[in-house]
Each structure stands twice: as structure tokens, then as C-alpha cells.
Structure 1
């Protein structure tokens, strides 16, 4: 069985979430665990190299944040804008092109091959694993996925996405179409 490092505590993630926890509201526990799962997978793809931890943690806290900050189904650009503004305001010094790119391309269906490929591709693969509830494995075993999901239970995250599609789109079908058009990249 393939091993994966599971960190149950990530102080930077909690610090980043602190500003948005009230805004995310009842969806917080599900989104938080989605973020922890995706960070775990992305860091696994990056060999758990510490040099990538800060950017990966930041990317995933912000990657879907536009759903709550801007109430948008086409949430990639709003999420990028919030992440870039906070990076600037708080002086984190993260590469804005990498931060923007990892958020922008995390729903890309085909492999990403542009600038910052290593990190963006790790983030893309990580999100596909979790968004598909482990049906898309990207080379990670079902046992490893089960271990990550056991450490960070779903807590209704995927149901939240369906609810938001309905709330923001008028119906689940219309919202689903808007989401697909707004966030899926080839």
C-alpha cells in the first residue's frame, strides 16, 4: 500500500481561514476538510517538500472561496482576486502568477503544461481526486484515498456544492451548467 503523510493540524490554513470562517458559515466544516484533503494529495504529489507547503496551503484555502465571498458559480476569477488581494495586503510574498495559476487551472480536465507546471499540476490532480470522491485516482490507491477521507470526513461538502448550484443558479440543472461553463478548463 502506498503511504501518504496526513497532517491533522495546519496552522497556516487555520490562520488563512480565520478571516472567512463567518462568511463560509455552516459550510465551513465541509470546505475545511475538502481543503485539508486536497492539500494532503497535492503535497504527496510534490514529495511533501516543505518549499511548496505555504503556496499549496494558500491555494487550497482560496481555490473555491469565491463561492462564499462573491456568491458566484463562475468562482475561479473571484477566488483568484481574493487570494491575490490578501497576498498583497498581508505581504506573504507568494508568487502571484503561481497563486493565480493554481487556482485558475485546478479544474482543468487535461494535464496542465504551462509555467509552474509542477505545483499547478499537483493541485489540479489533488482537486480532481477529491471532487470525484476518489473515483478519479490520479495514481493514488483507493486505500490511501480512504485513509485521507477517514482523517478528514466529507461533512457534506459535495452536497454543499449542489445546494450552492441551486441557490445561485436558480435550479440544480441551471446552476450545474453555469458551474461547468464557468470553471471547467480544457
Structure 2
């Protein structure tokens, strides 16, 4: 694979996330960097195909948004709903099924096969890389992961997920079980 392309500014992402900055609150910097890391990985898997960029950026801006908009640990469907509603409201013209799929399947354990496979699979692998802090590389080089993490530091994002699991689930254990049952797909 070619060297990883790191875009430190993505105007579309900034515009999309700005709408939800007050809802995300203190968790915003960590979530923003998570979004940038996952986009960077997914776009690398897609050969930085400009035809996929708007969809990937939008999917990742919204992929976890239900954690904050709905205070839900089973946040995939709420995140999909917000993304699809905004796609319609703002007239972005993104393929609704591809957008929904990229969000819905991003925690799938095994490879995704089906409609929009190329982009959904790239997003799935990208989120697993970041969710595991690079322990799962999905074909990405260690060096590329280090470069991306240096460009977009964690800023406590994974700690935020643990805190939200405890806050919304009543305890870290119960919240962790709810998250697993609510978002992990086989």
C-alpha cells in the first residue's frame, strides 16, 4: 500500500460536527479526532477515491452521534436516523443505503459482504483499528497507525466511551454488556 495520506483539515467534517458540538460538549475534541482517524484509515483502504470521500466523511461524523443525541448505548440505529434525516434535510444527495450501511455495520466482527461492500468494509476495518487503538490492524501498517495517532491524538476518547457506558448503563459492567449487545454485529 502507498503511504497514508493525512488530511488535517476536512471542511465537510468540521461543518457536520459543528452542528453537534454543543450536544457532544466536553467530549467533542476526542470524538472529532476519532472521526478524523477513522476517515483517514477508511480513505486509505479506498485508495483515497474522491468519489467515496463525502460518504465516508459523513458516515464517520455521524457513526457514534447517538451516544450524545439519544444518550443510548445501542446507538447505531439512532446514529443512522440522525445521519439519514440530515442527508435529506440538507440535500446532500448521498446514497442513503450506503450511508446507513456504513454506520450500521461499522462494528461488524467479520467482513461485510453485500451492497456497497467496498465502502462499508473500509469503514468497518477503519473503526476496528481505532477502537482497538491499533491492536487490530486490518492490514494497516504499524507505522501508518502511529502517524495517524500522532496527527490526531486520542484526547481521552476511549475513556469517554467507558464513562458513557457507566453513565448510561448504571455501571461499567452493565453498560459494557449493553454496548456489546446493542452495537456488535456478527
> Shorter-chain-normalised TM-score: which range?
over 0.9
Q: Which runs of 4+ in 1 moved over 6 A?
A: none
1:27 corresponds to = 27
1:158-169 matched pairs, under 5 angstroms: 158-169=158-169
In the aligned structure 1, how far is the partner of 2:136 from the partner of 2:120?
17
Deviation at 1:141, TM superposition (A): 1.1
Taking structure 2 as the reference length, the TM-score comes to 0.99
1:18 corresponds to = 18
Q: How many pairs are equivalent?
A: 186
Deviation at 1:3, TM superposition (A): 1.2
Secondary structure of the residue aligned to 1:47 is: coil
- Tell me if structure 2 keeps the 8 A contact 1:2–1:144: no
1:128 corresponds to = 128
Deviation at 1:143, TM superposition (A): 1.1
CA offsets 1:109-130 (integer angstroms, 9 cap, x no match): 0000010000000000000000
Ranges in structure 2 where 5+ consecutive residues have no aligned partner = none
In the aligned structure 2, how far is the partner of 1:96 from the partner of 1:3?
31
CA RMSD of aligned residues (A): 0.8
Deviation at 1:2, TM superposition (A): 5.5
- Residue 77 in structure 1 maps to residue 85 in structure 2: no
In the aligned structure 2, how far is the partner of 1:85 from the partner of 1:69?
13
Ranges in structure 1 where 5+ consecutive residues have no aligned partner = none
1:105-120 matched pairs, under 5 angstroms: 105-120=105-120
Taking structure 1 as the reference length, the TM-score comes to 0.99
- Tell me if structure 2 keeps the 8 A contact 1:37–1:130: yes
In the aligned structure 2, how far is the partner of 1:61 from the partner of 1:2?
25
- Tell me if structure 2 keeps the 8 A contact 1:134–1:145: yes
In the aligned structure 1, how far is the partner of 2:2 from the partner of 2:57?
22
In the aligned structure 2, how far is the partner of 1:66 from the partner of 1:89?
18
2:61 corresponds to = 61
